[in-house]
């Protein structure tokens, strides 16, 4: 199985990085991150936090956009060009096809996120060095570990939305797929505000809300607002192991959710007739 997946993943990765949109997203995100200095004139001592939050948000949007565009390109466009049948005529099952495409997509998205994350860290280091030269800060803590955590959570969101995009790519074209994924992204980040959960009120509404909480991914735990709320708790985040628990919980949640969505994609793909 590995011998079949690796060539598929490599070919998918090469096909993505040859596309112009990939470099447009990559360099646009880096440019926006480095231009974030222009928005910190009225930050009043919160320049680093503003740069970090803007950079992490930019990286998240860029990674999700690259993942969803890539899935539409590799899945939906192949159905339109009717090249999927040629691939499946070889000793490659539909499971290999889906997994290979997903691995190639997340590899390309990871490379993009790493490069943009490096640009964000450089921006934060420049801001730190500016404060050191002015005497308002010390040289300790030059690397922003909270930024690294935000970049990692941006990658987790990209993995989840890319897996969801694969499901819709089987039946939707690129424009429809991007629209649905965008709506899912917005809805999942505001889900707890739209449908607040009340466990003390057993009713049909609470059951429906519970099902929705299971079906839709909990992206609110992975955004910058949640990270800042945990960091703002003095003595809890870094000194009592809350950080490790938070990272492990969200990593496991992302892995389980992605596996479930990929399995759903395989089931749907097996039922699809390819002309």
What pLDDT, in 10s, does the model give residues 169-182? 888 888 888 899 99
Q: Which pLDDT does position 63 carry in this prediction?
A: 93
pTM: predicted TM-score of the whole model, two decimal places: 0.86
Q: What are phi and psi of 40, to 5 degrees?
A: -110, 15
* CB-CB contact of 159 with 106 (8 Å): yes
Q: Which pLDDT does position 140 carry in this prediction?
A: 60
Q: Which pLDDT does position 23 carry in this prediction?
A: 93
Residue 58, classified by CB atoms within 10 Å of its CB into exposed (0-12), middle (13-18) or buried (19+), is: buried
- 58 membership: H or E segment, kind and range: helix 47-71
Q: Which pLDDT does position 142 carry in this prediction?
A: 66
CA distances from 123 to 21, 93, 113, 142, 252 (A): 24, 45, 15, 11, 31
Regions of the chain with pLDDT less than 50: none
How many whole angstroms separate alpha carbon 115 and alpha carbon 143? Answer: 16
Where b means 16+ CB within 10 Å and e means fewer, 259-272 reads eebbeebbebbeee
Q: Which pLDDT does position 113 carry in this prediction?
A: 94
């Amino acid at each position: 199985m590995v011998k079949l997946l690796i060539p598929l993943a490599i070919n998918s990765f090469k096909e993505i990085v040859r596309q112009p949109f990939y470099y447009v997203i990559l360099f646009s995100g880096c440019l926006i991150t480095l231009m974030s200095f222009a928005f910190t004139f009225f930050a009043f001592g919160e320049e680093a936090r503003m740069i970090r939050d803007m950079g992490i948000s930019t990286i998240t949007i860029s990674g999700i956009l690259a993942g969803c565009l890539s899935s539409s390109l590799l899945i939906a466009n192949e159905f339109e060009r009717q090249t999927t049948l040629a691939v499946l005529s070889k000793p490659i099952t539909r499971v290999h096809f889906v997994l290979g495409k997903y691995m190639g997509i997340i590899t390309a998205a990871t490379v993009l996120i790493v490069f943009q994350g490096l640009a964000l860290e450089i921006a934060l280091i420049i801001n730190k060095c500016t404060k050191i030269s002015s005497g308002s800060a010390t040289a300790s803590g030059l690397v922003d570990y909270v930024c690294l955590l935000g970049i990692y959570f941006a990658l987790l969101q990209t993995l989840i939305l890319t897996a969801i995009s694969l499901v819709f790519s089987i039946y939707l074209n690129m424009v429809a797929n991007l629209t649905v994924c965008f709506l899912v992204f917005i809805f999942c980040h505001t889900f707890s505000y739209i449908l607040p959960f009340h466990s003390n009120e057993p009713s049909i509404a609470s059951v429906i809300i519970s099902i929705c909480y299971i079906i839709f991914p909990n992206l609110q735990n992975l955004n910058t607002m949640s990270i800042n709320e945990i960091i703002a708790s003095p003595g809890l985040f870094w000194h009592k192991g809350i950080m490790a628990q938070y990272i492990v919980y969200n990593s496991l949640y992302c892995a389980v959710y992605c596996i479930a969505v990929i399995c759903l994609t395989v089931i749907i793909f097996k039922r699809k007739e390819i002309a």
